[in-house]
Each structure stands twice: as C-alpha cells, then as structure tokens.
Structure 1
Amino acid sequence: MAYNCIDPPAVGGAGEYYIHDWDVCGVNHAYPDPGVEWEGCVCYPPPVGGAAAPGTPAYYHPIAPARVLDTRDGTGGYRGRLGYGCKISVRVTGVGGVPAVSVSAVVFNATIAEPSRNSYLTVYPSDVGLPTASNVNFTAGQIVPNLVTGRVGSDGRVNVYNASGQTQVIFDVVGWYINTPGDPPSAPSPTPTPEASGYGFYHPLPPQRIMDTRSGLGWGGKVGHNGNATVTVRGRGGVPASGVTAVALNTTVTEPTAGSYLTVYPSDASKPVASNLNFGPGQTVPNLVIVGVGADGKVNVYNAVGQVHVIFDVVGWYGGAGGGLLFHSLPPARIVDTRLGLGSGQLGHNRSAGISVTAVGGVPASAKGVVLNATVTEGTGASYITIWPSDATRPTASSLNFAPGQTVANLVMVKVPPNGSVNVYNAVGQVHLVWDVVGYFE
C-alpha cells in the first residue's frame, strides 16, 4: 500500500492500531486509528550515514525571498501536517529562482506552524542518513522560524524530519551557493567597475549593532502596524559603502504589542510573500537574516500587526574577492552538547567560555568562519547568549534570546580567528548549549 507520510488512509475501526508497509522511509510504520487520533505516522528513518566530504568552494547568490514549500496549501508538493517520526523530501533547486543544477547549498527561512506537540525539525541532504542535529525547536501551538543553510542532495532536494506530533512546514528561499561567481551589486548610476573575480565572497565581521529602535539607532521608535522601516546597512558596522551584494544580520524583535511577523527584503524590491520572524505578544525572538541590499544601500523591514521594536546586529557581508571567503557546505554534525559533556559544561550566570569550532565536525583547522545552528535549552533564567571571535572584545550584540525553560535555536555565522575558537557568553542563570555545524568559510 503506497501513500505519503502526511495523508494516511482512513482505514480501520475505532481504537484499533494498524501496521502497513512504508514505501518512503523504507520500513514498516504504525499509526493509531484516524477516527480517534492520528499523529501522521510513526516511520523509522534510515540509519545515520557515514561522513560526507565537504562541498566544493561556493559563491553566494542572494535573491528576493520566495516561498517554495507550504504544507498548509500544497506549495512544494506536500499538503497537510508532517507527522511524527516522518520525513518529506523537498525540492529546493529549480524553484523560487534557484538554478536547477550545480547548487551546493540553499539558504531558506524554515517556519513551523500549528504543531500539536513539543518537537524539533531536522533538515539534511536527501542523499545522507538522518544526522544527530536539529534546525527548529518548538512547543505545541507555536509559530517558530529559523534560517537554514542546507546542503543539497544530488537530486536537488533536502529532507525534513519531524520528531514528534504534527506540524505545518514553510520554506522561504533567500539565496543559494554555487561554484560560479555572482552578479555585481545593485548600485545607482554610474555603476562601479565590476571586480574581475566576481561576487559572492563572504566577509565575516565581529557582531556590531547597527539598528535598535529602542534607542533610535537606525530607526526611531517601534515599527508600526502594517508598517515599513527602511534601514541603511551599507557603510555601517564594518560593512563597506559600496560593492556589497548582501548582508548577514542577526535580527531580534522585542516588546511586540500583538502576534505578528517581520519580513526583511531589499529596499528596491517588492514586498514578498515570505516572513523572517514570527512572534507572539510580549515575546523577544531572534533570527539570522541574510538579505540582498538595495541600490541605495538599504533594506526594508515590514511588520504586519501591532507595534514592535527591532534590533539588527550585523555579522558579515557578501561582495567581491578582496579579503573574502568561499563557503564549503557540510552535512549537519553536532560539535557541542553540554548536556552530554561535549564542549564546555553548562554555561553559568554572567560567564563566558571558549569553544573550539575547527578540526571538528568536518571543519578544517584552516577555516576562517563557521555556520552553525546554535540551540539553548534548560535555561534557568530569562537571558541571552552572544557568540563572537575569541580574539575580539565581547560586542554589544546577542545571538539568541530565551526565557526560562525554553529551547531556542538560531543560525549563527561567526568569524574564526587563527586559534580556531569562538567565545560564548550567557547573561543570566545557567543554560545548556547544543551546536550543529553545517558549513565553513575558507
């Protein structure tokens, strides 16, 4: 019997339990009777695969956000909530402006909605086994986004695995990595002479705050209901005044008056059907945003409902070759889990720790930047963590914000100094750290 994971057949009698052949996960699965409560299915994913070689050096190509998966309406070929223990294989090349071939990794905002239970999603290449890693962590009823840099399988797809309950899944693609240079940046006339080596090189920076509406930095006051803020990102925080195709911003919302979402997009593009951050009233929520820069050096920030403060901490920019780095994708690999003694111990109140991020998880000792999904869990207080290069002063910036007991994930792009380590600071209470590396810059 063949059917997909998120639409099981309506068979059987009340209270009965069934086992059927599973032709996607590859083994039998079981689920409760649909008339009582079905949780999608219990399908057993393939075993963890062996180590895969790093991806070839790749250049970044930003695009305006485009929705390529939405299980609420069938966009991307799947309709209905993803069940527990299940995976779907989602095409991320040849859609949304991403080329059909030669793409090594895709960058997209992954959002979950309508989850029935506490769970997590893992996004991984379609041609490797399920790794010990996670990308989005959530509790029942939440809407949670997180940026994902996902290595692409040989068939142009990524797998999405849900650990528990049922959840809707949404992907908004914002760019891709490929082995050919990118186009020159948008710029007013006269356009600067293009660099011979092309564009798409990454230039990491120590985090620096360039927008904080609470103090009027970059924009004065909250972003209002159905409102836009236009923010200058070129020529600030270490980003040069020209030659910039995209910027990486750790974006945080705080003190929202209503449940809403933010969309960040180039100032010279139309507002897309996409979101970068989703949040409830009173929440403080972070998410990394990689966004193309408009010809005027600015990006737009749209807020749908209510009023909210917005904070930008710039962590890097994309442009020409001078001092820039190329990206090497990796299948996700866990390099820190303080619950298990991997890395430092539980991080204490107003404490910092140095953690090595090279020569682990497939990252070479020569790496000059890493991309990792950083998760905090079991925090004892409302706090934030900051991750920064170990040879720099701790910046006025945050990487993740969390409440007591929350499990929160955020993608982090951090410059790596010659000693191969980065620092992490926790402001309040104690918290466990879990880091999954997904690539590096060299």
Structure 2
Amino acid sequence: MRRSLRSVLIATLVAPLVLVGQSATAHQPAPAATASLYQPTTPTRVLDTRTGVGAPTGKVGPVSTLTVDLSTHLPTDATAVVLNVTGISPGAATLVTAHQAGTARPSVPNLVLTGTEIRSNLVTVPVGADRRISLYNNAGNLDLTGDLFGYYRTGGGHLFQPQDGERVTTLTLGPRQTTTVDLTEYVDQTATAATLSLTAAPSASTFLTVWDGGPRPEVSSLNTAQRATNQATVVLNAGRLVSIYNHAGTVTLDIDLVGFHGVRFGAKYVPVTPTVVFDTRSGVGTRDHRVGPVTSAAPAEILPGTALPDTAIAAQLTLATLDPTGSTAVTLDERDTDPGTTDLTAQPGRVTPGPVTTTVLREHPNQRAYVHTRDSSTHVVAALTGYFTGWVPGCVDHCAYAEGPNLGELGIGTTTTSAPPSNTGLYFPVTDAGDGWALTSVGQLWQWGSDSRTGPVGWRDGRSTMPVPTAPFRDVEQVWYQEDEQRDSIILRRADGTLWGWGQQGYYRFNDSTDYNHIHRTPVRVHDLTDVVALDSSRQTTFVAKSDGTVWSWGVNYGGQLGFPDNEVPLRRTPLQIPGPAGVVDLHAARAIYARTAEGTVWSWGLNTDGELGTGSTAVTGTPAQIPGLTGVTSVTTADYGTAYAVAADGALWAWGDNSRGLLGNGTVGGSSNVPVRVTAIDKPVAEIVTKDQRVFARTTDGDVWAWGDNRDGGLGNGELCTDSCTVPTPRRIALTGITQVTAGQAVAPDGSVWRWGHLDAEGQRVTVPTRRTDVSDVVALRGGLFVIRP
C-alpha cells in the first residue's frame, strides 16, 4: 500500500531516521568546508530533464538519485552552488533532496510536491572537487530543472550582509507583465547581489523570474499555483534595480529583503552537513526542551547550541512546517516580535520546507533566533545548512565609530570595551546620532544597546549589540529622545510632517491615554499631528512648531510651560495652539521654553527663577513674550541651572539667566541677569555654542575655541588643573585653531584630526590642554558619542 505524503514526511523529518531507500553506510560525511565568498552570475538554466540540459532526457524515477555535473559552470575552488530547483508533476506525492554528490543525504528535504504540482525552492548545495550535486526523488516520476544564480568560492568574491527582515514592497502583476523594483534605499551603494524573500499569491499556476534587467533569462525564481514563499538571490545592476516577471494569471507579491552581497563588508559563508537543530515535536533546540507547535500567540526560540559557532552572525537553514492548523506565514528572526515579513508559507494538510537565512542574537553562549507564525499554529523543524562568519565592517562615507566601556551600547557587535574606536557597521552615511541611535542619509533610524522602553523596535528587552534598522520608515528628518526620571520615549519627525514614537506613555506623550506607565513597543502616531517642522520637550510637556509658524503644546503645565497660565490650563491631553508667537521655525525646551522665528526674534515662557526668560522679570509666566534686544538670532541653547544663550547672524553672543557658576561669561560669579547681555570677551564672530556639565564652549567662525565655567579636572582645556576654586567666569581662548566642530572635551580639525582634553592619559595624568588623538583620524563630525569618519 502506497504511503501518503504526510506519512512519508513525518518519517523523513524525524532526525536521525534514515530515509526510505537510503543506506546508512553508503556515503561519507561531507568534508569540513572553508569560509567562502559569493560570486553572483547571470541566471542560467543548468538542468532540465525535459530537454536533456545537464542530464539525460527523461524523468527521475522513484527512490532514485540524479547526479548533475556542474564543472563547466563552476570554478575549481567552488565550495557551494546556489540553484533554484523545480520539481514538475511527479504523478505521486514525493519529496526532493539536494546534497553534495557522494555524501550522505540530509534528513530534511528541499522540496515537497503533490502528484500534479510544479514547485520550486532555492537551495545552496555544497560541492566537492568534482563539482557534482545529487538530487534524490522519493516517489513518482518527475522532471527537474535547476537554474544557477551564483556560487561560493575560496578564491575571491563578495561578502554577505544579512538584514533583519524588512518589507520592501507589495505589488500586483498581471499575466506576462514585468516590473522594476528599486533597492537603492535598502542595500549599500556597492552591493552586487540581493537576497529577497518572495511571497506570491497567484490566481493561476505561474512562475516568476527575478533578474537584473535587460533581456529576460529563461529561468524561474518561484513556481507555484497557490500562495507560496521562496528566496531569490539576484545580481544587481549599477542602479540597484531588479526586474520581476510574472508568467500567468494575476499575482500579488510581497518582497522582503533578507540581505545583500558586496565587496566591502559583510561575512563569509561556511556550508555544513545539514543538521537538525530545532524540532517542536521532540523538543530538540527548544527552550527547556519544550514540545508543542509554534502558535501565533508567542514565538518559539531556536537554540542551535554548538552547531552554530560563536562567531556566526547569521544562519542558513532549511525550515519545514508540519501539521499547520491553517494557512499561515512563518518568519525566522532574531527579534522576539513578529517583524511582519515572511520566510515560509505553510499550508494545511501538507509539509512545507523552504530556505531561510536569518541573523542570530549573539549572546554567548545562548545564540538564538525566534520562529513566528502569524495566523495558525504549526510544528516546525529546522536544519542548519550553513552560517555566515568573520564579519568585516565597511563604510565609504560618514561612517560611525564608537569607543569606550561596552555592554552592547557601542553597537560594534560585541560587549568588549573598544579602544581605539571601532566601526559600528552602519553602511549608510550617518547624518545625526545620539546614545544608542543613528539617523542615516536615507532617512532610516538605526538603534543598538539596551533599553527596555525605547530600544530597537521588536527586540527582546530592547537589546542589540549591533546597529539594527528600526521603525518602518525611510523618511525620518528628526529624532527626538528623552530620558528623565524613567520617562523614556523617542519621537521621529517624518518628511510628511507627521510624528511617530514609542516608549513610555507618560503624560499624554503619544495620545490622550491616561495610562502613564504604558510602554509602547512599536511606533504609534503622535496625536495625529501634521505639518510639524520642529519639536522638543521639557520633562512632562511636549512642543511642536508647524509649517505655518504656529506653536502647539500638550502635557503638564508646570510653571506655565504649556504657554498658558497654569491656573487656567493645568494640563492638556491633546495638542493646543499657543497664542502669541508667529512664524516660529525652531524650539528649545528647558526650564523655560524658547521659540525662534524665521525673522530671528525669540519668544519665551515658563519657569523664571533666575531670569532665564530674558524679559526683564523673574516672574513665572505662561504667557509667551518676545525677548527684547534679540534680533537676527540663528540659534538658542541652554546650560545647567537656567542659563540661556543666543547666537545672532552677525556672530554676536548673548547670555542671560543664572550666573552662580560664572556661565554668563561676564567675568563675575553669582547673581543672575533677567535680560540678555553681550559676551564681549570673545572678540570674533561666534558660530557655535556647546554646553555640558556647567561648562561652555564657543567656536568662532574662523575656528578658534573659547571656554568658561567649571574647570574641574581640566575640563576647559585652558592648561590649568583646578585645585580649589574651579570657576572660570571669563571666556578664555584655548590652544586650538581652524576647528570645524567642538564638543565638551573634544574638537575636530579640518584635516580630520581629533583633539581632546580633561581626560586621563596612559600614565593616569590629567590632560589639561588639547592633545591630538593618535587612535582616530579622518573624522568629519562628532555625533552623540560617535565618531563620524570618512575612510
């Protein structure tokens, strides 16, 4: 009696059972492989049993193995081949398994077909010196095709940069229709090939072809008559475009990015003898050896153990679903929340294997990934077929480097202290950055480190030791991050003027919910605001300026910070327009709130203990008023204890507010000023003001640097080491010239050198004058503790 497809597969997928017709001693294990590089090729059909390409004409019979010689297509140093293998109408339920010729057949198949089905999967098959592979058919008589998309070799090629799953687009194609997909914003500018996950929902039996444009090759990337998923690794042209062709019917196609190959950075591939590392039926590789299907309510951890070395940054697996309760998308990802992408589509009543490549959460010794099922429960088996290791970081312009103590907050992929600065691996140019985040030139936010509230979206406990793209946006123009009294939140301003954020709700930060302690784990729209051009926040109150120049606020009205008298409006759950200021283009929120207009005037309101409103009074007010005497202002900032500064277009520097630590720069210590006073000690136009830890640094337009305030530990860089009175109330020029950027303790020169002061040298001595760093060069900017470098 013929066994059913389900019974065949259940027997087959229980490692280490021997397949029907397979001798346990007939073959030797594959030899240990060498780390290899990928070489993409023009898609080429190298096997077709219908026409005699690559093998004699004729179907492959039951319990039979077809050996294919690829020596004319592969170099002598090839270690593995990447093929799309298609099984055609076997006449009986069957499975197809690909493996290196002369080695033991793996227990997890690559293809499972019904009797009349045409179906394909991408396979990466190790090859030996003879460059031959074997294709085993379990039942029926079927035709096989094999389309070559590339190969791995030891003698040269391209590295692989895995990506956490990201949806590129969803599109619809009619019969014999071709479209183009632009991957410019998703892969590095030097990428040579991309690996995509394609999920097709066809109205008729069809095949799809993905290639780099030009004449369409006679190959297929996905063959199916029902909803199915397959990987495709495709060569990229100079424009980083790919073409997609649909042969029949109408198909809805989800395209997810898995990773890309390039010459500058990434990891090498090591094929391994396929090994089952996860099985929900037996508890192999599960947390606490848990037995039971994966459900949509919670992901399941894959714990590969020693099968995956500590150096691996990504794993390649054959994933198979068994006994799903319904049709469902299955995703393998290092995040413990479903990223919304698809690696495999499970169908009820059948076993579905497929290729999956995933980054792994590198927390030695518990490297892991998570299996997610979206709509139904299913058993899952995973066999490790290879991994990517020896990651080489790379970047060509405005690259992010980090240094210092490290529990993952440096984003360099380890928890090892970094000295000198190490490459974080961000391959898009960095335009802005802060603690644990960076904004890239394509408008994408990347995050790393550990933050249970505002850490990388979708990551367990908000932890990642490497930069990961977060939030599904590529048009971010501003990142605002707050961390005070455990009210952690992050808000993004997008190009369309909308705001999106996550973290702790606090006082109506994101919406009008009163659940103060609620943590938003994924981005939510902030109060349906539109046309926002600037935002800032002061403790429990948030402010935005719109493109029409109006200012809006919401939250707690502490000291009139909402811009209304606090006895009239104690709090606001939703944004309310503040009367008074018009034409506002920028905001700065501290104890007092400052709104700068396009004409260069400044309005202020809020707390005023030390005259920080600058309006001639020390009275707290919720009514905005223009600060007299300030015109042509280009920037406003504040220091500790309520001192404010304004830089005018002519380079004039004005200060007002608290002077208990000599921060007004007028040569005195103590008291305050409730009106702006000119800082006259600096005899050149000021371009930039930086404040931190009761210290003020001013950079002039010609690159001189002046400093005043608290000089403990030589923090002002003026050559003096404070022993008693640490306040320097008059700005002093320090020994730097031609500086392009200054921070509180470091400065960047035009030649890319970095100078620092106030630190301990190798002998433990405090450095009190700017000293050139020898461990970093070619720096173009300092951003939130990161060095932005042009290699």
Name the TM tier (shorter chain).
0.7 to 0.9
1:144-197 superposed Cα distances (whole Å, 9 cap, x missing partner): 100000001331101111112221111001000001223xxxxxxxxxxxxxxx
Matches within 5 A, 1:305-384: 305-322=248-265, 324-344=266-286, 345=291, 346-360=293-307, 363-384=308-329
Q: Which has the higher contact order (CA 8 A, sep 6+)?
A: 1
TM-score (norm 1): 0.78
Deviation at 1:336, TM superposition (A): 2.1
Distance 1:384 1:422 in 2: 17
Residue of structure 2 aligned with 1:430, choices 362, 377, 397: 377
1:86-109 superposed Cα distances (whole Å, 9 cap, x missing partner): 1121112323xx33x110000000
Q: Which residue number corresponds to residue 262 of structure 1?
A: 208
Deviation at 1:369, TM superposition (A): 0.9
Distance 1:288 1:65 in 2: 14
Matches within 5 A, 1:276-291: 276-280=221-225, 283-291=226-234
Residue of structure 2 aligned with 1:406, choices 344, 350, 353: 350
Distance 2:145 2:107 in 1: 22
Deviation at 1:340, TM superposition (A): 3.3
Deviation at 1:257, TM superposition (A): 2.5
Q: Which moved more, 1:415-424 or 1:101-110?
A: 415-424
Unpaired runs of 5+ residues, structure 2, are: 1-19, 390-791
Q: Which residue number corresponds to residue 218 of structure 2?
A: 273
Secondary structure of 1:370's counterpart equals: strand
Secondary structure of 1:325's counterpart equals: strand
Native 8 Å contact 1:45 1:130 kept in 2: no
Output the amino acid matched with 2:357.
M
Residue of structure 2 aligned with 1:388, choices 329, 333, 347: 333
Native 8 Å contact 1:347 1:432 kept in 2: yes
Deviation at 1:45, TM superposition (A): 4.8
Native 8 Å contact 1:49 1:131 kept in 2: no
Distance 1:134 1:48 in 2: 18
Output the amino acid matched with 1:320.
V
Q: Which residue number corresponds to residue 461 of structure 2?
A: none
1:221-273 superposed Cα distances (whole Å, 9 cap, x missing partner): x212111010001222xx22x1000011001111x222211000012x42111
> Cα–Cα, structure 1 residues 257 and 44, in superposed 2: closer, same or farther, change >3 Å?
closer
1:23-65 superposed Cα distances (whole Å, 9 cap, x missing partner): xxxxxxxxxxxxxxxxxxx965563655544311111011121
1:97-154 superposed Cα distances (whole Å, 9 cap, x missing partner): x33x110000000000011211111111113122322111111111110000000133
Distance 1:50 1:258 in 2: 43
Distance 2:129 2:305 in 1: 26
Distance 1:364 1:51 in 2: 19
Residue 115 in structure 1 maps to residue 90 in structure 2? yes
Distance 2:48 2:28 in 1: 31
Residue 165 in structure 1 maps to residue 140 in structure 2? yes
Native 8 Å contact 1:350 1:428 kept in 2: no
Distance 1:341 1:81 in 2: 38
Residue of structure 2 aligned with 1:65, choices 43, 55, 60: 43
Q: Which residue number corresponds to residue 15 of structure 1?
A: none
Matches within 5 A, 1:24-423: 44-45=22-23, 47=25, 49=27, 51-95=29-73, 98-99=74-75, 101-182=76-157, 200-213=158-171, 222-236=172-186, 239-240=187-188, 242-254=189-201, 256-267=202-213, 269-280=214-225, 283-322=226-265, 324-344=266-286, 345=291, 346-360=293-307, 363-390=308-335, 393-419=337-363, 420-423=367-370
Larger Rg: 2
1:267-291 superposed Cα distances (whole Å, 9 cap, x missing partner): 2x421110011122xx211100100
> Cα–Cα, structure 1 residues 429 and 307, in superposed 2: closer, same or farther, change >3 Å?
closer
Distance 1:270 1:147 in 2: 22
Secondary structure of 1:47's counterpart equals: coil
1:6-25 superposed Cα distances (whole Å, 9 cap, x missing partner): xxxxxxxxxxxxxxxxxxxx
Native 8 Å contact 1:93 1:103 kept in 2: no
Output the amino acid matched with 2:278.
V
Native 8 Å contact 2:190 2:264 kept in 1: no
Q: Which moved more, 1:410-419 or 1:51-60?
A: 51-60
Distance 1:273 1:358 in 2: 41
Q: Which residue number corresponds to residue 188 of structure 1?
A: none
Native 8 Å contact 1:204 1:415 kept in 2: yes
Distance 1:259 1:50 in 2: 40
Secondary structure of 1:250's counterpart equals: strand
Deviation at 1:413, TM superposition (A): 0.8
Native 8 Å contact 1:85 1:164 kept in 2: yes
Unpaired runs of 5+ residues, structure 1, are: 1-41, 183-199, 214-221
Native 8 Å contact 1:276 1:289 kept in 2: yes
Distance 1:303 1:43 in 2: 38
Native 8 Å contact 2:316 2:384 kept in 1: yes
Q: Which residue number corresponds to residue 13 of structure 1?
A: none
Deviation at 1:364, TM superposition (A): 1.9
Output the amino acid matched with 1:253.
A
Deviation at 1:302, TM superposition (A): 0.3
Secondary structure of 2:299's counterpart equals: strand
Native 8 Å contact 2:46 2:146 kept in 1: yes
Native 8 Å contact 2:90 2:139 kept in 1: no
> Cα–Cα, structure 1 residues 139 and 210, in superposed 2: closer, same or farther, change >3 Å?
same
Secondary structure of 2:232's counterpart equals: strand
Distance 2:312 2:30 in 1: 17
Distance 1:203 1:274 in 2: 26
TM-score (norm 2): 0.44
Secondary structure of 2:338's counterpart equals: coil
Secondary structure of 1:83's counterpart equals: coil
Deviation at 1:409, TM superposition (A): 1.5
Distance 1:90 1:389 in 2: 36
Distance 2:332 2:26 in 1: 29
Q: How many residues align?
A: 362
Distance 2:26 2:380 in 1: 22
Deviation at 1:70, TM superposition (A): 0.8
Residue 439 in structure 1 maps to residue 386 in structure 2? yes
Deviation at 1:351, TM superposition (A): 2.3
Secondary structure of 1:396's counterpart equals: coil
Output the amino acid matched with 1:428.
D
Output the amino acid matched with 1:431.
T
> Cα–Cα, structure 1 residues 232 and 427, in superposed 2: closer, same or farther, change >3 Å?
same
